[in-house]
Structure formats: structure tokens, C-alpha cells
Amino acid sequence: MGAQWKAKGKAQAADAKGKLFGKLAKEIMVAARGGADPAANSRLRLVVEQARKASMPKDTLERAIKKGAGLSGESVSFERVIYEGFAPHRVPVMVECLTDNVNRTAPEMRVLFRKGQLGTSGSVSWDFDHVGMIEAEAATPGADPELAAIEAGAQDFEPGDDEGVTLFLTDPTDVDLVSRALPAQGFTVLSAKLGYKAKNPVNPADLSPEQQEEVEAFLAAIDANDDVQDMFVGLAG
């Protein structure tokens, strides 16, 4: 039985890594539209660095760049679409999709939101700030996130989801600038992206354990959709 559980765990880890590589490949293809050279394309450079940190195979990375830049002879076109609404118990959520077929994605999102509420454009986004999000970890002992945020030009910072990781928040136009400045302040950048931060997040303590489980199940179902690239949830903590 132990061997079976071990095999199951390995399969789940492989699935998770495959899903991550798929999302990164899409981001690379979209970013590469602005040019195949990461040195001259800041958006592409950020995603490529994230892909390398995730140990994406070099040939997979290069293939995604060529495909997105139109250098492979293959036609690829992804559209970024945002769906706004509420998870159960009025938890606001914004779902970012990268899709090659909106006519497929839209009805899938409507079905997934049945246990919550799918809103119209602007119905939820007004309660979110559009920001740059940079996850970084201290590379030198005693590195001060507050000082690093000031020196690097970030607007704010907060503890990340993982222990030892700090989330630096920036103006959307300053993501690349701050990402380049953080290493000099003793921080290694793990990821950098544009996202949405809730202005008035729901406190999980206000939800019962059963309600929290309903919210988690709803979010997990959405995250499992192949077209979903990212989710931004209005939950505190």
C-alpha cells in the first residue's frame, strides 16, 4: 500500500509540474510576440527567468519563444480574458485565462461559477488594485524587506505564502525595474507578474469551517481548468 501511495504522490507532483510548465509556456508565447530576445523584451525576460527557476527544460522554453515570436512556422494565438465574480459566501475572485478559443472557455467558466456568481466586467475589479507582484527571498542574512522595498522602488511589501518569501508590490509599470533592483538589496527574485490585490478582502475567520471548505473546493475546480492562468482571490491572509 505504501508503494501505491508513493506512486500516486509522484504522479500528482508530475501533473502539477506539467500544469506549471503549460502555464509558463503560454505566458512565454504571449510575451514573445514583442520580440524573441529576452534582453530586449522585459516582459519575456521576467517569464523566462521564472521558467528557468521552475526547471523548465531548455528545449521546451526555446520552442515556446520561437512559436510565440512566429519563428517556428506554427500559428499560435492566445487571448487574455478576465472573468470576475464571487466564490461561495461572497468571496470576490478574478480569474485570468489565456485561451485559444473564447467560445470554449466562456461556457466552461459559466458552469464553474454556478456554485458562486459570475459577474459582468467591472462588477468585482473595482474592489481590486492592479499591481505588480514580485516574490523574492532573502539571499543574504539580515536582509531587510522594508529597506529593500524603499531602495528598490516598491510601493509596499508583505510576507508571502511561503516562509522566508516576501511579496513586493509595485506600480504595474515598475515590475521590471524593481525586479532588477532587488538583488542589490539582498533578495533573490522568484517570480514577477502583474496581478490584482483585493482592497477589502474577506476575513477567513468570518467563515465557518464548512464555508471555508466550500470556497476552497470552488477555487480548486476553477484552477483545474486548462485555460485558467491565474486567480486573484479576495481573502485576507
Residue type, 125: S
**pLDDT in 10s for each residue of the chain, 237 residues:** 455 444 445 555 566 788 889 999 999 999 998 899 998 988 898 899 889 888 999 999 999 999 998 887 776 788 899 999 999 999 999 999 999 999 999 999 999 999 999 999 999 999 999 999 999 999 888 889 999 999 999 999 998 766 788 999 999 999 989 999 999 999 998 888 899 999 999 999 999 999 999 999 999 999 999 999 999 999 987
- The cell numbers describing 106, all together, are 466562456
Q: What is the pLDDT of residue 14?
A: 61
Closest to 222 measured CA to CA, from 95, 90, 100, 103: 95
Residues β-bridged to residue 156: 169
Angle in degrees, 0-180, between the axes of helices 209-223 and 102-112, rounded to the nearest 10: 170
b/e map of 7-41 (b: 16 or more CB within 10 Å)? eeeeeeeeeeeeeebebbbbbbbbbbbeebebeeb
Q: What is the pLDDT of residue 13?
A: 59
The DSSP secondary-structure symbol of 202 reads B
Whether the CB-CB separation of 197 and 131 falls below 8 Å is answered with yes
**Three-class DSSP category at 149:** helix
Cα–Cα distance measured from residue 97 to residue 160, given in angstroms and rounded to the nearest whole number? 23
Q: How far is CA 50 from the centre of its chain?
A: 11
Q: What is the pLDDT of residue 141?
A: 82
Residue type, 215: V
How many separate helices (H) and strands (E) can be counted in the chain? 7, 8
Q: What is the pLDDT of residue 76?
A: 73
The full set of domains in the chain, from first to last, is: 2-69 (1.10.10.200), 78-237 (3.30.70.980)
